Each structure stands twice: as structure tokens, then as C-alpha cells.
């Protein structure tokens, strides 16, 4: 059952779209929580309670004992000391010894979740504003309570996005492909190495001076032709589109947007300026319907060229600096010129320089004109910006009748964005901890509706090595979004560059062989509002060992994943909650099957191999591999 409680005068976020909940009476107290005067919610946990959810967030599957902040943030260096990532997803479940419930705080401002850092027995939720809806969800099925709560929640937030079939293939990306020829070479090398591929991504370098809806005609002299050349090879080119629009006289989108009042403004009515890749930029007011229509329709620029896939970026929005912020730094720099800085003055200066990026002051500087005519400061609705950028695009595709054939995913998101497209897990690094994070984040994202998701395979920042890449591939082989992406300046990581070409090839081939199964599980999760990836505890709630497992997941109802997530490991221990079949995809493409009893096992997992476990009576379908999804015959399957 779901009950909605109203506090103050909340903005309509469009996170909840199905009215299948009861409205609480105006003086009805919130169950489970004690409310403090400032709206803070306190829940007393017992020592063994587990916390799940929060979507794109750090730490493990069980979210207990940390602080998280819902605040969409451009945070590439996200180590354990960070509170926020690119998405802000306010849904959390308590799997408690005394209570089991879910809470969704529909509040697009900053929300702080202390799951036991300050006091390990207290769950404390604090809000920066006073207007919100709170949904409390209690299970109808008390045995599979977590599955049931998340299913009820998913039902009210609407069906998740389904991408075109080819978007389940493998994609290669790098911030650094500058010309048509760079991209041709990538494809040629994939073909030579006999590794399947469906997508090649175009990062900001395809644009003319990082201006959205432009192409640098020196690097891409005939984009339309190039798109069709690639299509003949069954390759989809997927360009990036950023949130900021370059502030430049004569740039059509900028001029038109100014004239038509499309950009966010400061309280004094002047257009807000902040710098991103193109330097000074302005930001479309995606929270306004007319602006969304205007912006979304601009994608015709690309779709007319035959482009059918997009990633939306920098839409937290990321702001490197504003003129006001930069002035603070330049003033201070002049002031300290020639001075001997001591410990205090040096750190004060460093603090000022680093504070101007994605600064709270800047986020407070501008406002949005909502559809109901009201004007709201950005700070109150920050977490809606990225979602509404993707919504603009998705709605335009729907209007044009091309939504089902077009891939779209975003970096920033709020709950509700899952209806418009997918998300990737933002900038990560070639760290073992980020591989683990990628794996652990899958179920929490599913709980919030995001099924088309995955991380930058191999890591975006920093340098990969072959062992990390092979282990990462063995995780991404199951994630709906399977994209290898890396940053300029890092060691290149296209798969054909690795010495163990048989190892990498085997895993990508396996992806294509598994697609009938992966897509089937994907569609089940979408149609039935279930999780594609679940913690073991959701499927085996009666098994206390399963409660603690942080490095295994269920894929659908029948497949258990236990990838190697540690460095220098020839294998790992796996816990099986019941008797299962081990299916080993060998490096040479052969499959070995063994029966394993319930309990603990030590496995050897050589690099380039993938091992999964299936429940009794489950038949895994495999098709014959192909070089891309278009050539795959998904009806011609064999069953294991
Ligand atoms: C951001 C994106 C990253 C992209 C880069 C350049 O950091 O998250 O994926 O490569 O910008 O566009």
C-alpha cells in the first residue's frame, strides 16, 4: 500500500505519474518516523536493519552507516569521501527486523540521508526546503517485502524506457576521436580483431567550437554521408549533446533562444551566464514546457542526417565558473600578488579557486519559469534539470514518431527520468573500487526505474590495465548499456589494443550470444516493474547469509552473478543460497556445466572467462554470435 503525505506547497516534479496511492489526512502523522521541528525525519533502526535504494549513490548494496546527499553533481573523482553523484534518487527501503517499508521523498532540492553515520541506530532524513510529498510504501507481500515495495514504487513512477534493439550491442567511445578518419580506423580495427560492435560515440570534438547542433566541417566534411557510410556497416553513430549553449553573437540557437526567452534568468531578469566547454554559455530552461519543445525539436538537425542515438551530458548542470565567480578569483589573485602566503592565506586562496566550480552561489543565481507561471529559484529544483533535458528530447522524438527507434541516455537524472531514456553512471575512473561500485549500483538504479544503464567500461579517468579491463568486461557483459569510454589523455582502451585479444573477444561474443536472455530479462523488468538486478537478500529473504552478500547479484529470478571484482585474483569464493548449476563460458567459446551444492565454493576464474550460476530447471537461451545486433538471429537459440 502507498500513502502520500503533503508538506507545504510542493512543485510538481512529474516523478509520480500513476495515481495508485492513498492521500493521507491533513493531520495524519507520518508512520515509522518522528518529525523534528525543521521537517527532519528520524527513524530508529535495530542493529540488523538493512537499507536499500538511493539509486546512483556510493558505497555498497546495503546503504547503511553513511551520509548521502541528493544533489546532481559533476563528480568524476568520486571516492568514498563524496556525498553526491550525477543522479539524485530519493527512494530508500528499510528491510528491518521490526519494520519493512519504503520512502520516496519527492523533493527536487537538496536532501540529506544519514543512514547511521552520526548515530548507527538512527536513520535521519533532512531537507533544505519545506515543500515536498512523502510517499510511504508498505509491503502487501511480507515474505518478499523488498521486491514487493520496489514493484509498488515502480508502478506509480511509470514504465521504464526501452531502447532500440541495437542499443543492447557493444559501443566504443573515447573523448578524443576528432575526425571521420579516427572513427573509420576504430571500426576497421574492430573488424580486423573480429570483435562485434554496434555503436561508435562522438564526443564534443565533432562540434564546431563545442556548439550543440553544429558539426565541425573540417573534421567531418559530410556528416550525413558519413552517417550512412557507417549505417551500411551496421554502426550507429551516437553524438553527445551538452546542456550549455555557447554565448556567441550570430550563433543561431543562441540568438533564437534569446529572442524567444528560452534561457534561465537571474532574479533581475537578465540571462544567467556560466562557463562550460565552449566558454561562456547560457542554459535552456528545461523546466519550462515551451522551452523543452523548442530544444527537443532542434534534434532534427541530427535526425535529418540519419543519426539515431544521443547522450546528453553536463546537465546537472555542470558550471565551471560564472563571471561573478571568476571575478572573485581574479580579485583575490591581484590582492595576493607578490605576497608571502602562509598556511591560512594559502589555503584560503586555494579554497576560493576551487569553490567556483559547480558552486552553490551560482546555482542560487538563477531561476526557472515553471509551466504554471510561477518562478522558482534553481536551488529548490536543482535535481530536475537533467531529467527535463532528456524529457525535452524524448518528447520531441515521440512527437516525430521516432522514440522507439532512437537511443537516448543522460548523465544527470531524477526519478521520472527513467521514462524518457537511460542513464550512464557518469564519469568514473579505472579503479577496482569503481568496477565494484558499477556492479553494486545496478540494483539500486533498477529500484528507481533505471534499467537501461551501465558504467564506462574500463573506467573513464585514469589508466586501465588488461586485467582490470577483462574483469570489467565480465561485469558489463550483463549490463543493458555496454559502452567502453575513456577520457582524453588516458591510456587508450579500445578492445583491439589488448594483448589477450582472445579473452576480450570471447566476452564480447558472449554478450551477443546472451542477448535473447538479456533482452528478455530487460523486458520482464520493464513490463512487470521488477528488478533486472537484485540483491540476494531480496530473492532469499529467509537466508541470513544472503543478507550480507555485497558482491553477488541475481539477474532476473534465475541467474546468480558472482564476478571477480578484486585485483590479482585467480578466482573467488562464491556463496550459493541453494543448489545451482555452474555455467562456465570458456575462453575458446565452449561451455562447461557442473552441478554445485548450496553453500560456499572456491572458483577459479581465468581472465577472459565468464562464470554464472543458474537455478534448477532454468534453461538459459543462447543464440549464435554475430558482428552486430542486426545480423543476430535471436530466434535461432539453443537452450542450456
Ligand atoms: C564529461 C562526460 C564525459 C565526456 C566529457 C567530454 O566529462 O561525462 O563522458 O567524455 O565530458 O565531453
Q: Crossing angle for the helix pair 466-476 and 501-528, nearest 10 degrees?
A: 30
Q: Rounded to 5 degrees, what are φ and ψ at 152?
A: -60, -40
Ramachandran area for residue 99 (φ above 0: left; ψ -120 to 50: alpha; else beta): beta
The 10s digit of each residue's pLDDT in 139-171 is 999 999 999 999 999 999 999 999 999 999 999
Peptide bond just before 496 cis, omega within 30 deg:
no
431, pLDDT greater than 90? yes
Is the CB of 175 within 6 Å of ligand 1? yes
- Å from CA of 506 to ligand 1 middle: 29
Nearest-atom number in ligand 1 for the CA of 460 is: 9
Could you list the beta-strand ranges (E) of 392-457: 407-410, 413-414, 422-424, 453-454, 456-457
pLDDT surpasses 90 at 325: yes
Write the CB contacts of 638 (distance below 8 Å, at least 6 apart in sequence).
621, 622, 623
Nearest ligand 1 atom to alpha carbon 488: 10
Helix (H) or strand (E) holding 266: strand 265-266
3-state DSSP assignment of residue 556: coil
Rounded average pLDDT over 2-13: 97
Give yes or no for residue 204 CB within 6 A of ligand 1. Answer: yes
pLDDT of 37 higher than 90:
no
- Ligand 1, atom 8: closest residue by C-alpha: 427
Could you report the per-residue pLDDT of 13-31, keeping only the tens digit for each?
Answer: 999 999 999 999 989 999 9
Task: Yes or no: say if 633 and 620 are a contact pair by the CB < 8 Å rule.
Answer: no
Residue 77 has pLDDT above 90, yes or no: no
State the Cα–Cα distance between residues 493 and 382, nearest whole angstrom. 34
The whole-number average pLDDT for the span 196-216 is 98
Give the helix, strand, coil percentages of the chain, each rounded to 5.
30, 25, 45
Task: Give pLDDT, residue 146.
Answer: 98
The average confidence (pLDDT) of the chain is 97
Ranges of H-type helices in 116-245: 145-157, 180-193, 223-232
Instruction: Report the greatest alpha carbon distance in the chain.
Output: 77
CA distance 283 to 318: 10
- What percent of the chain stands above pLDDT 70? 100
Compute the distance between CA of residue 93 and CA of residue 95 in angstroms, rounded to an integer: 6
Q: Which pLDDT tens digit goes with each residue over 486-536?
A: 999 999 999 999 999 999 999 999 999 999 999 999 999 999 999 999 999
* Model pLDDT, residue 157: 98
CA of 439 to the centre of ligand 1 (A): 21
CB of 203 sitting under 6 A from ligand 1: yes
CA distance to 319, 387, 418, 640, per residue, from 390 (Å): 18, 5, 10, 39
Best residue among 78, 171, 460, 483 to mutate for probing ligand 1's pocket (most ligand atoms within 8 Å of CB) is 460
Q: Quick check: CB of 362 below 6 Å from ligand 1?
A: no
Of 239, 242, 212, nearest to 226 (Cα)?
A: 239
According to the model, what pLDDT value does residue 197 have?
A: 98
Q: Which of 175, 357, 410, 493 maximizes ligand 1 atoms within 8 Å of its Cβ, making it the mutation to test the pocket?
A: 175
Could you read off the pLDDT of 537-556 as tens digits, one per residue?
999 999 999 999 999 999 99
Residue 25 is predicted with a pLDDT of 95
Give the C-alpha distances (Å, rounded to integers) separating 621 from 56, 166, 342: 31, 19, 67
**Residue 121's pLDDT band (cuts 50, 70, 90):** very high
Strand 170-172 relative to strand 482-484: parallel, antiparallel, unpaired? parallel
Residue 240 Cβ inside 6 Å of ligand 1? The answer reads: yes
**Distance from the CA of 470 to the center of ligand 1, in angstroms?**
23
78: confidence class by pLDDT, cuts 50, 70, 90:
confident
* Band (640; pLDDT cuts 50, 70, 90): confident
Amino acid at each position: 500500500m502507498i500513502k502520500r503525505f503533503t508538506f507545504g506547497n510542493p512543485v510538481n516534479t512529474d516523478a509520480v505519474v500513476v495515481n495508485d496511492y492513498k492521500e493521507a489526512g491533513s493531520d495524519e502523522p507520518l508512520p515509522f518516523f518522528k518529525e523534528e521541528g525543521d521537517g527532519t525525519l528520524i527513524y530508529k533502526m535495530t542493529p540488523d536493519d538493512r537499507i536499500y535504494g538511493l539509486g546512483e549513490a556510493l558505497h555498497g548494496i546495503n546503504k547503511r552507516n553513511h551520509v548521502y546527499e541528493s544533489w546532481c553533481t559533476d563528480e568524476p573523482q568520486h571516492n568514498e569521501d563524496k556525498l553526491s553523484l550525477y543522479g539524485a534518487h530519493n527512494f530508500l527501503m528499510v528491510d528491518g527486523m521490526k519494520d519493512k517499508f519504503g520512502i520516496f521523498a519527492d523533493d527536487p532540492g537538496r536532501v540529506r540521508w544519514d543512514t547511521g553515520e552520526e548515530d548507527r541506530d538512527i536513520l535521519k532524513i533532512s531537507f533544505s526546503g519545506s515543500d515536498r510529498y512523502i510517499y510511504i510504501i508498505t509491503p502487501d507481500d511480507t515474505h518478499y517485502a523488498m521486491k514487493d515495495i520496489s514493484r509498488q514504487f515502480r508502478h506509480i513512477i511509470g514504465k521504464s524506457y526501452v531502447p532500440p534493439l541495437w542499443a543492447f550491442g557493444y559501443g566504443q567511445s573515447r573523448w578524443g576521436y576528432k575526425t571521420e578518419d579516427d572513427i573509420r580506423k576504430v571500426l576497421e580495427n574492430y573488424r580486423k580483431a573480429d570483435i562485434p560492435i554496434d555503436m561508435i560515440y562522438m564526443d564534443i570534438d565533432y562540434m564546431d567550437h563545442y556548439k550543440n547542433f553544429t558539426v565541425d566541417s573540417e573534421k567531418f566534411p559530410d556528416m550525413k554521408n558519413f552517417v550512412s557510410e557507417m549505417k551500411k556497416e551496421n554502426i550507429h553513430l551516437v553524438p553527445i549533446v551538452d546542456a550549455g549553449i555557447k554565448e556567441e553573437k550570430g550563433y543561431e540557437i543562441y540568438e533564437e533562444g534569446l529572442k524567444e526567452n528560452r534561457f534561465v534568468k537571474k532574479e533581475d531578469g537578465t540571462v544567467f551566464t556560466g562557463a562550460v566547454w565552449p566558454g561562456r554559455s547560457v542554459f535552456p530552461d528545461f523546466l519550462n514546457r515551451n522551452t523543452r519543445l523548442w530544444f527537443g525539436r532542434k534534434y532534427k538537425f541530427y535526425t535529418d542526417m540519419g543519426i539515431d542515438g544521443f547522450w546528453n551530458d553536463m546537465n546537472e548542470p555542470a558550471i565551471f565558473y560564472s563571471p561573478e565567480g571568476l571575478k572573485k578569483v581574479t580579485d583575490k589573485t591581484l590582492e595576493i600578488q607578490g605576497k608571502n602566503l602562509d598556511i591560512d592565506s594559502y589555503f584560503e586562496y586555494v579554497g576560493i579557486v576551487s569553490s567556483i566550480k559547480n558552486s552553490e552561489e551560482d546555482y542560487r543565481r538563477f531561476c526557472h519559469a515553471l509551466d504554471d507561471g510561477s518562478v522558482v529559484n534553481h536551488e529548490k529544483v536543482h535535481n530536475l534539470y537533467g531529467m527535463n533535458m532528456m524529457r525535452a528530447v524524448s518528447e520531441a522524438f515521440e512527437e516525430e514518431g521516432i522514440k522507439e527507434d532512437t537511443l537516448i541516455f543522460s548523465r544527470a537524472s531524477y526519478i521520472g527520468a527513467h521514462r524518457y531514456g537511460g542513464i550512464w553512471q557518469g564519469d568514473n575512473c579505472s579503479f577496482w573500487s569503481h568496477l565494484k561500485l558499477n556492479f553494486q549500483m545496478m540494483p539500486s538504479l533498477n529500484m528507481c526505474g533505471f534499467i537501461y544503464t551501465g558504467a564506462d567500461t574500463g573506467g573513464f579517468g585514469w589508466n586501465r590495465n588488461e586485467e582490470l579491463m577483462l574483469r570489467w568486461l565480465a561485469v558489463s557483459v550483463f549490463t543493458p548499456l555496454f559502452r567502453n569510454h575513456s577520457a582524453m589523455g588516458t591510456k587508450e582502451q579500445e578492445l583491439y589494443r589488448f594483448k589477450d585479444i582472445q579473452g576480450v573477444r570471447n566476452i564480447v561474443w558472449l554478450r551477443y550470444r546472451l542477448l535473447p536472455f538479456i533482452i528478455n530479462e530487460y523486458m520482464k523488468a520493464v513490463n512487470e516493474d521488477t528488478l533486472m538486478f537484485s540483491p540476494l537478500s531480496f530473492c532469499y529473504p529467509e537466508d541470513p547469509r544472503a543478507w550480507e552478500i555485497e558482491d553477488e547479484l541475481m539477474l532476473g529470478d534465475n541467474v546468480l552473478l558472482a564476478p571477480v571484482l578484486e585485483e590479482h585474483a585467480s578466482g573467488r569464493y562464491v556463496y550459493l543460497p541453494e543448489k545451482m548449476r555452474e555455467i562456465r563460458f570458456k575462453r575458446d567459446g565452449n561451455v562447461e556445466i557442473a552441478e554445485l551444492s548450496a553453500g560456499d565454493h572456491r572458483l577459479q576464474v581465468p581472465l577472459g572467462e565468464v562464470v554464472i550460476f543458474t537455478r534448477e530447471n532454468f534453461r538459459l537461451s543462447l543464440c549464435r554470435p554475430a558482428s552486430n545486433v542486426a545480423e543476430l538471429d535471436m530466434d535461432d537459440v539453443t537452450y542450456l
